[in-house]
């Protein structure tokens, strides 16, 4: 059974700092991994998608890496801003006929002005 | 792309009642999945529908059921509501064919059971 763990559960940083969020998964036979952002009480916004054959993806100040063999991914946020405050979730997709995403519990990020 | 729309956005039900949540699929996506997200937790997979049939289910009891219509819109029905059913329910329309992949979430329905 695939399990996804995110560390830390919560993180508070001053504005301008660079930060790293961690995600680990138990079954390396994934098709892709996604990082989502969720604002309080809202739905999910996809930030970055990494295919299993890729090592990293970048979008603006965000960079996500994937080490499939070790079952790890990181989301790097550069020059954090108060608007980055949200919960960040990672999810793995196995493919092979299943559309199920398996999520971690998320990291709640607070960026202090 | 038209996005995924869920209705209602919020509702309050009494324990033991039944509820129906609705979701409109994104154009071109033939699969819909439903997730339950309890407070402080990640979304948990409930089930998925492909071509109007359930073809995948998570660890949820039979009182959670669904429908998918020919236009790929979907309903989630929950019978005999329990207090622990209080959560954000997320619908996602998806497609995957080894060449392309798309997974789009709606904004969710917040269900409170009292």
All residues of chain B having their beta carbon less than 8 Å from the beta carbon of residue A102 are 45
3-state secondary structure of A83: helix
Contact A89 B43 (CB under 8 A): yes
**Which residue in chain A is spatially nearest to B108 when comparing CA positions?**
A43
**Which residue in chain B is spatially nearest to A103 when comparing CA positions?**
B42
Are A94 and A29 in contact by the 8 Å Cβ rule? The answer is yes
d(Cα B32, Cα A9) in Å, to the nearest integer? 29
Q: Both tokens of residue B12?
A: 């309050």
Q: Is the pLDDT of residue B97 over 90?
A: no
d(Cα A79, Cα A84) in Å, to the nearest integer? 10
How does residue B2 score in pLDDT terms, banded at 50, 70 and 90? low
Contact B105 A44 (CB under 8 A): yes
pLDDT digits (tens, 9 = 90+) for A55-109: 999 999 999 999 999 999 999 999 999 999 999 999 999 877 677 899 999 999 9
**Which residue in chain B is spatially nearest to A43 when comparing CA positions?**
B107
* CA dihedral for B54, B57, B61, B64, sign (positive or negative): negative
CA atoms within 13 Å, Cβ hemisphere of A52: 17
- For residue A10, give the nearest of A112, A113, A109 by alpha carbon: A109
Q: Is the pLDDT of residue B1 over 60?
A: no
How does residue B101 score in pLDDT terms, banded at 50, 70 and 90? confident
Q: Select the residue of B94, B104, B107 nearest A99 (Cβ to Cβ).
A: B94
- For residue B89, give the nearest of B81, B97, B100 by alpha carbon: B81
Cβ-in-10-Å burial (0-12, 13-18, 19+) of A112 comes to exposed
Q: Is the pLDDT of residue B71 over 70?
A: yes
All residues of chain A having their beta carbon less than 8 Å from the beta carbon of residue B55 are 97
| DSSP class of A84 | G
All residues of chain B having their beta carbon less than 8 Å from the beta carbon of residue A98 are 48, 56
Contact B105 A43 (CB under 8 A): yes
What length does chain A have?
113
| Contact status of A7 with chain B (Cβ, < 8 Å) | no
């Amino acid at each position: 059974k695939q399990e996804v763990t995110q560390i830390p559960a919560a993180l508070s940083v001053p504005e301008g700092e660079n930060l790293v969020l961690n995600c680990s998964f138990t079954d390396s036979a994934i098709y892709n991994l996604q990082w989502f952002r969720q604002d309080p009480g809202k739905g999910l916004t996809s930030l970055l998608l990494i295919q299993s054959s890729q090592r990293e993806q970048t979008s603006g100040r965000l960079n996500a890496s994937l080490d499939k063999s070790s079952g790890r991914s990181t989301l790097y946020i550069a020059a954090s801003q108060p608007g980055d405050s949200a919960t960040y979730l990672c999810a793995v997709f196995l493919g092979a006929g299943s559309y199920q995403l398996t999520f971690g519990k998320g990291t709640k990020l607070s960026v202090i002005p | 792309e038209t996005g995924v729309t869920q209705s209602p956005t919020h509702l309050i039900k009494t324990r033991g009642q039944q509820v129906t949540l609705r979701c409109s699929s994104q154009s071109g996506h033939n699969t819909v999945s439903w997730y339950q997200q309890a407070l402080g937790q990640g979304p948990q997979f409930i089930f998925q529908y492909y071509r109007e049939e359930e073809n995948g289910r998570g660890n949820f009891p039979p009182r959670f059921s669904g429908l998918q219509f020919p236009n790929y819109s979907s309903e989630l029905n929950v019978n005999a509501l329990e207090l622990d059913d209080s959560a954000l329910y997320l619908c996602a329309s998806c497609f995957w064919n080894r060449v392309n992949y798309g997974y789009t979430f709606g904004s969710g329905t917040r269900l409170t059971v009292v």
